[in-house]
Amino acid sequence: MISVLGAGAFGGALAVALARSGQAVTLWARSGTGAMDAARALPRLPGVTLPEGVAVEADLGRALAGDGPVLLALPMQATAGFLEAHGAGLAGRPVVACSKGIDLGTLEGPSAVIARLCPGAVPAVLTGPSFAADIARGLPTALTLATADAGVGAALQRALSTPVLRLYLSDDPKGAELGGALKNVVAIAAGVAIGAGLGDSARAALMTRGFAEMSRIAVHLGARAETLAGLSGFGDLVLTCTSDGSRNFRFGLALGRGEGFDPTVTVEGLATAEAVVKLAAREGVEMPVAGMVAALARGRITVAEAAEALLTRPLRKE
């Protein structure tokens, strides 16, 4: 039995995809499980029907019955609080983080949060270029599955792969999770560029320099450069910076246009931008694009001021 904790778009999509491939899945949600079970539908995935293999569960204890993998599909900023309350019950099990971000309080990635708050659990990270709607529709998708435990990683790769969901194994969870988190910040910057009418060339420049920042901080923190060049870094960056399906890109688009944005939509890149600015300052790593996004998002500078600040930086070698 695979336990998916969190019935948002991504958690729901994973539950649907795994059940279609013949896996028994329990999908836990904080609320609304009765309506989901009755309608066999997910609020965040309109038009998607829950397969029979998905058991919708409101009781966390029943959702965690057995000893199978646990897919933690909660927002990054809610993960630590949830695990502080319930992490002890996950000892001895693979716990796979499916969120993308950096904890604002501790500046940790999801694998470190799991390791700290789930003693005895095996942390893993599932990340990469993917939209929940594509996974739920059964469209071909490739993701990175990263864990330091090779044996557990191989078992998870077999359990979580489907005919159309291809998982590539990595032993660099830090690199995988940093790629997934940091590309959201760059996606906001790319959206700002398009929303403000700065053009596709400006977007390409921000993507390229943003990727350089991503790689710089990740390698400084002990990740491998090749991990950032793979699905979890470069691959996810391309998808998130070029599609309206990305919430972070859409947020940046609205910001660049001077428009409001739906406050009920989770934009992980906002918290990540704040966290990475603190992290960069602590580590002495230069990250001007991330700093610009954090300042823009909080209204400390205007789009025109942000563009001028980036364009007037000293000329240097690439």
Given 174, 183, 278, 317, which residue is catalytic? Answer: 183
183 is catalytic: yes
Phi-psi region of 40 (alpha: psi -120 to 50; beta: other; left: phi over 0): left
Question: Helix, strand, or coil here: 244?
Answer: coil
Write down the number of H helices and E strands in the chain. 15, 10
Whether 257 contacts 196, CB under 8 Å: yes
Write the CA distances from 137 to 48, 130, 141, 202, integer angstroms: 7, 12, 11, 33
Whether 194 contacts 253, CB under 8 Å: yes
Q: Long-range contact list for 306-310, CB < 8 A, 24+ apart?
A: 306/192, 307/196, 307/198
Give me the active site residues, please: 183
